Structure 1
Amino acid sequence: MDMSSLSTIGALCDLLKPEDQDSDSDEDQPTSSMGRLGPGNIGKTTSNTTTKSPHHNNKSTNSKDIWDEDEIPDGAEYESTYDPRPQPEYEILYKQAVTPEDMFLQMGNKTNATSSCEDMVVIIKLPDTKMVDVDLDVKPKFLDCRSPKYKLGLHLPHPVDDKNGKAEWDKTKETLKVTLTMRREYDFVNM
């Protein structure tokens, strides 16, 4: 069958265009409901029927709320734009348990990438600060460190175990070293 023949193209046009649309003026009209939308369709509708999205939960919402609780990132409650304290210098390091098999025989599946690391170490430099003046709060994705002179609100790059961590104060360097175990979704593959 020759697809380029005139009768084949005509038959294809007849299949795509039903017989009841004889007039050429109907071609300019939109055929889907999306084409009929205009500026008046933006915003809330005032119809009596309410449709719930599949992501809508059964919590009672205040009509003046502009965000759901799920839309606010972890640690946003700690951010304050009016706090004059400067942010201290900090560094994030990653730590992994390496055995001789990993180093010399290369029998394990560990690499030097952060995906093979078990712990995250946050080193915070707090000059002219005493250990008793430091307040530290760790959430699964947020670290909050405050002192009279400094304030650090750090969104962590990976979720951590906020119940089991270790903080060490180095008096000579005036630094706080916080070691946190990471809890990522696919850690079972990399460890």
Structure 2
Amino acid sequence: MAGNAALPPLLALAELLSGPRDEDDDDDDHLGQGPSSAASALGPGHITAPKSVEPAATTHVKSGNSKEIWSAEEVPEGSEYDDSWDSREQPEYEILFKQQVGTEDLFLGMSRKDPSTACCEAMLVKIQLPDTKISDITLDIKEKVLDLRSSKKKLLLHLPHPVDPNSGKARFLPEKGTLEITLRMKRELDFINFA
């Protein structure tokens, strides 16, 4: 193996992969046939499963409609709203986080709140909808998805945090052409942080 340093890199790799060789293999190298090994004699048809592998797992038949391709758990939330054929453009939007602070929080620091988003209770989504009437807007909010449709715009927004879809508020500012949606966030351990 001391001769590996003098070999070109590809031949050194071939020698490494071929394993130990016999003296008669060296004769083949001189004839221009290259290094021979057991691996070079194998082809795709020689690939088989190892003998010690257990049999493949059986497929489980799901209860319910046997014609269903996916179960409800396998489909991500909001994918039913995804419509790649819809040519309406996406409006500009901005996501801001809000928290309720009082004087004791601001000046005295008496609570455990800090300016990070971990201490925010609500999410404010501002969507720019110029030249739009409030009657043209359709808004659907799920736990992790906001779906907005109007005659000219379409927005499917996957929210950064789960929200409570039943406690949100929306207001339309026609002079600015902006829809402001305030959503209360749902997080684990909120009862400890905001009690």
TM-score (norm 1): 0.69
> What's the CA shift string for 1:57-94, capped at 9, x where partnerless?
x63252561x2210111111101111101110000101
Equivalent residue in structure 1 for 2:53, among 33, 37, 60? 37
| Letter of the structure 1 residue corresponding to residue 96 of structure 2 | L
| Letter of the structure 1 residue corresponding to residue 52 of structure 2 | R
Count of residue correspondences: 146
Question: What's the counterpart of residue 3 of structure 1?
Answer: none
Q: C-alpha distance in 2, partners of 1:137/1:182?
A: 16
- Structure 1: 4+ residue segments shifted above 6 A: none
| Letter of the structure 2 residue corresponding to residue 139 of structure 1 | K
| Letter of the structure 2 residue corresponding to residue 74 of structure 1 | E
TM-score (norm 2): 0.68
| CA 106–85 in structure 1, closer or farther in 2 if over 3 Å, else same | same
Question: What's the counterpart of residue 160 of structure 1?
Answer: 163
Question: 1:175: how far off?
Answer: 0.6
Structure having the higher Rg = 2
8 Å Cα contact 1:164/1:180 also seen in 2: yes
Equivalent residue in structure 2 for 1:103, among 95, 102, 106? 106
| Letter of the structure 2 residue corresponding to residue 177 of structure 1 | E
What are the ranges of 5 or more consecutive residues in structure 1 without an aligned counterpart? 1-33
Q: C-alpha distance in 2, partners of 1:76/1:161?
A: 19
CA RMSD of superposed structures (Å): 2.4
Q: C-alpha distance in 1, partners of 2:172/2:139?
A: 12
More strand by share: 1
Matched, 1:177 2:193: no
Equivalent residue in structure 2 for 1:130, among 130, 133, 148? 133
| Letter of the structure 2 residue corresponding to residue 60 of structure 1 | G
Question: 1:186: how far off?
Answer: 2.0
Question: What's the counterpart of residue 6 of structure 1?
Answer: none
8 Å Cα contact 1:125/1:175 also seen in 2: yes
Q: C-alpha distance in 2, partners of 1:158/1:149?
A: 27
8 Å Cα contact 1:145/1:152 also seen in 2: yes
| Letter of the structure 1 residue corresponding to residue 93 of structure 2 | Y
8 Å Cα contact 1:115/1:190 also seen in 2: no
Matched, 1:189 2:192: yes
Question: What's the counterpart of residue 66 of structure 2?
Answer: 62
Question: 1:182: how far off?
Answer: 0.9
User: Percent identity, aligned pairs only?
Assistant: 49
| Letter of the structure 1 residue corresponding to residue 63 of structure 2 | K
